[in-house]
């Protein structure tokens, strides 16, 4: 009887650890996807973009944290349109070459990992300016984020990831 109880307890513990491991993998998967919209939110300080990032996720807390990653990704690879109400103009992506994300996949995987180097270039306004909308089975969370575009460009040029502005001519 003690042996059966031991076996059942062991199986229960293994199932719990497997479940926690799968939940952690799912959370990491949620923050690896780049599902967002980016728009100008106003004029930032010199060398910074002020953007509103709308992130899609099943959990608002995940979307809020993902907004910082999405803001840097958007400034690098998407750019954003103008907003006459906010008084800003459209901006092209920093990476002029659209294939640089795939060509430098190893660099960007590490760069955009949870807590990665992208964190050096972004600050968000906090949950005060957060807007949350329910869209179907997921949430669309809007957060105003400031991205240090000049420092980001300078560091990526120094690392050889993107070409400098003067090298294009």
pTM: 0.76
Above 70 in pLDDT, residue 149? Answer: yes
Which residue intervals of the chain are DSSP H helices? Answer: 2-30, 60-77, 100-103, 105-111, 149-158
Chain segment 4-24, per-residue pLDDT in tens: 555 545 465 555 444 444 444
**pLDDT surpasses 80 at 61:** yes
- Rounded to 5°, angle at Cα 149 from 159 and 128: 130
Nearest alpha carbon to residue 112 among 60, 165, 76 = 76
pLDDT for residue 129? 66
In the chain, the percentage of residues whose pLDDT exceeds 70 is 75
Q: Are the C-beta atoms of residues 59 and 71 closer than 8 Å to each other? A: no
């Amino acid at each position: 009887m003690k042996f059966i109880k031991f076996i059942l307890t062991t199986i229960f513990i293994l199932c719990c650890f497997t479940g926690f491991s799968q939940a952690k993998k799912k959370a990491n998967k949620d923050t690896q996807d780049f599902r967002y919209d980016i728009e100008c939110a106003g004029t930032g300080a010199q060398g910074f973009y002020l953007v509103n990032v709308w992130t899609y996720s099943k959990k608002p807390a995940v979307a809020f944290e993902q907004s910082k990653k999405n803001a840097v990704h958007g400034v690098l690879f998407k750019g954003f349109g103008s907003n006459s109400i906010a008084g800003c103009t459209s901006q092209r992506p920093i990476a002029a070459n659209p294939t640089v994300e795939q060509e430098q996949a190893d660099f960007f995987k590490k760069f955009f990992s949870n807590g990665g180097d992208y964190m050096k270039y972004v600050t968000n306004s906090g949950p005060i300016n957060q807007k949350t909308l329910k869209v179907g089975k997921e949430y669309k969370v809007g957060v105003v984020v400031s991205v240090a575009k000049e420092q980001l460009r300078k560091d990526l040029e120094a690392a050889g990831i993107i070409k400098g502005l003067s090298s294009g001519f």
